[in-house]
Chains A and B, each alone.
Chain A
Amino acid sequence: MVGTLASVLLGIFGRLLDFYIRGTDAYAGYCMAAAGFLALAHTFRRGEHIRVTLLLEQAGAARPWLERLCLALALFASGLLAWYSVRLAWQSHTFNDISTGNDATRLWIPQIGMALGTGLLMIALLDAFVGAWRATSVLPSAPATPSHVE
């Protein structure tokens, strides 16, 4: 799974750079979107999506319940996002929506990435939720070396 994802992303990023040098702005945006969305689930499973863990760490015995509550809420939000992303791509397809930029891409093609990525995130959250309910799997907490982002 990670391997296929890696190769997909490798291709996307390579293309991103390449296309972009040729000046195809819109395609850079599509590729970026695809890379971002497709990596959602993977990043979630690695515990690298950012959250406030202050209360969770202090919660003690209530922690499993709080964790389940968080997962349920997140599952709900990601479910909405996934549903409407699929709908957006589907509608773009039905109405044959075309990009307003000079690339004139049929928008449903890049939007598939979003639909797929958010769908995968929802499945990953569902998996984590079921896992947390059965208390079989523990979510990876924040990575030991915090992200180098800020």
Chain B
Amino acid sequence: MDIAAAALLMLVLFALLGAGVWIGLALMGVAWIGMLAFTARVPGDAMAVTVWGTASSWTLTALPLFVWMGEILFRTRMSEDMFRGLAPWMERLPGRLLHTNIIGCTIFAAVSGSSAATCATIGKMTLPELRSRGYPEDKIIGTLAGAGTLGLLIPPSIIMIVYGVTAEVSIAKLFIAGVIPGILVAALFMGYVIVWSLIHPELIPPIERHTTLREKLHASKNLIPVVLLILAVLGSIYVGVATATEAAAFGVVGSLILSALQGSLSRATFGSSLMGATRLYCMIALILAGASFLTLSMGYIGLPRVLAEWIAGLGLSKFALIVALMLFYILLGCFLDGISMVVLTMAIIIPTVQKAGIDLLWFGIFIVLVVEMAQITPPVGFNLFVLQGMTGRQITYIARATMPMFFLLVVAVLLIYALPELATWLPEKMMQH
């Protein structure tokens, strides 16, 4: 196994992906070819056993449950309630209601595992409200697309489950590690909006009506259900009474109760949330199945080891490695979705990362941040697609509006590189319990 053969295999993979073969099946095909060409092993039975093992693994059960929870909440009136609860508090901040986008997404991210879902759920409410009040459209879209990506960083997070399963890192720890960086990113976004509004005060519509503290507090009661749900899900993980999967089940039951209390739970919405969640999960499962077989095949071939040695031979510093990886993922993120990006590269990159002495928990947060960037980079960025569907604007316009958020995410990566404790402190604290 040399670098040329490895490059050839990678080329085949990218040719298959580029041609438009369904990603999960493409991964399986390449794994098959690789095993047949470079090892003496028979691929067939190993494939079935690996795929079965992944598809029925207990750790993974958190994933369909969190997906389902997101689908239920998407069909409730939660975003309206949150907007009503948050809006009065924002009137004094420079940038006013633009912050409802960011804080709304941050809060919703704590009950949702996905970025596009966060973006769609919050945007459903804030887009028309902010537009009718005359806020600048590019800022509405930019903050929404950017803050929507927090759905990945703030637990629960589908991408963290995928990473945890492939890299064999505790999902509960990953979840807790994402909290502080998530708040940090939200703060960066809000800081940007504040600075921008101080420079362009004429573009922010005036306050409609001052609300009293009493009214503010009264409006805040709309936030109670979502806060309870967050406590049930994250609290149970943090204090250690529940694993990620158990917390996910709490979440599903909690959101069902919530939607029943709101009166938005009917046979139809229940059915459509269930079917929607099943299809979504199925889509992810096929990719994961393909990836697990690819990982196995790569392991037999020895490609990750070769690559790790090759990169170690380059003598890159840790910082240079991280920057190189970030550029690599940004490039990859232009064409691939986050989950495919993670499963595709984990099989190959983990040994390199370990060899460089990088903590896998920290690396998980790094990966989530670069996947967040991938969500908002054209031509393939899911949040851009969501907003394209919701606003009817050109994808180039949306991408331009989101650019500042992209750079803020780069800043966030550099910050957690400089201060790794941002990611690792809280999970360590949790383990001491």
Contacts and interface: CB of A to CB of B under 8 A. Distances in A.
Nearest to A88: B48
A110 interface: yes
Interface in B202-246: 245-246
Contact of B280 (A29, A51, A114, A147): A147
Contact of A20 (B28, B61, B375): B61
A49 B55 contact: no
Interface string A71-91: 001101110110111011001
B198 interface: no
A80 B51 CA distance: 12
A39 B115 CA distance: 23
A48 B116 contact: no
Contacts of A39: 278-279, 281-282
Given A66-B19, A77-B29, A150 B281 contact: no
A49 B24 contact: yes
Contact of B271 (A10, A43, A74): A10
A73 B29 contact: yes
Contacts of B389: 144-146
Q: Which among B24, B71, B114, B115 has the greatest number of chain A C-beta atoms within 10 A?
A: B24
Contacts of A30: 56
B58 A148 contact: no
Interface string B376-411: 000110110110010000000000000000000000
Interface residues of A, number: 60
A56 interface: yes
A146 B271 contact: no
A49 B253 CA distance: 28
Given A29-B61, A74-B21, A13 B32 contact: no
Given A69-B19, A80-B32, A6 B275 contact: yes
Contacts of B336: 52
Contacts of A111: 52
A77 B43 CA distance: 12
A150 B58 contact: no
A20 B280 CA distance: 21
A37 B64 CA distance: 13
Classify the interface of chain B: helix, strand, loop or mixed. Answer: helix
A20 B158 CA distance: 20
A45 B213 CA distance: 54
Interface string A102-127: 00000000110010000000000000
B20 A70 contact: yes
Nearest to B44: A84
A53 B380 CA distance: 10
Given A13-B68, A73-B29, A77-B25, A150 B158 contact: yes
Q: Which among A48, A110, A146 has the greatest number of chain B C-beta atoms within 10 A?
A: A146
Contacts of A150: 114-116, 151-152, 158-159, 337-339, 371, 375, 382-383
Interface in B133-171: 151-152, 158-159
Interface residues of B, number: 77
Contacts of B48: 81, 84-85, 87-88, 114
Contacts of A6: 271, 274-275
Contacts of A25: 58, 61
Nearest to B276: A148
Nearest to B385: A146
A149 B158 contact: yes
B312 interface: no
B252 interface: yes
B117 interface: yes
A53 to B, nearest CB: 6
Contacts of B116: 146-150
Contacts of B45: 84, 87-88, 91
Interface of A: 6, 9-10, 13, 16-17, 20-21, 25-26, 28-30, 32-33, 35-37, 39-40, 42-44, 46, 48-56, 66-67, 69-70, 73-74, 76-78, 80-81, 83-85, 87-88, 91, 110-111, 114, 144-150
Given A73-B19, A150-B159, 12 more contacts: A48-B279, A50-B283, A52-B17, A52-B336, A74-B25, A80-B28, A85-B51, A145-B386, A146-B386, A149-B116, A149-B339, A150-B383
9 contacts: A6-B271, A42-B279, A51-B23, A54-B335, A55-B18, A66-B19, A80-B47, A145-B389, A148-B120
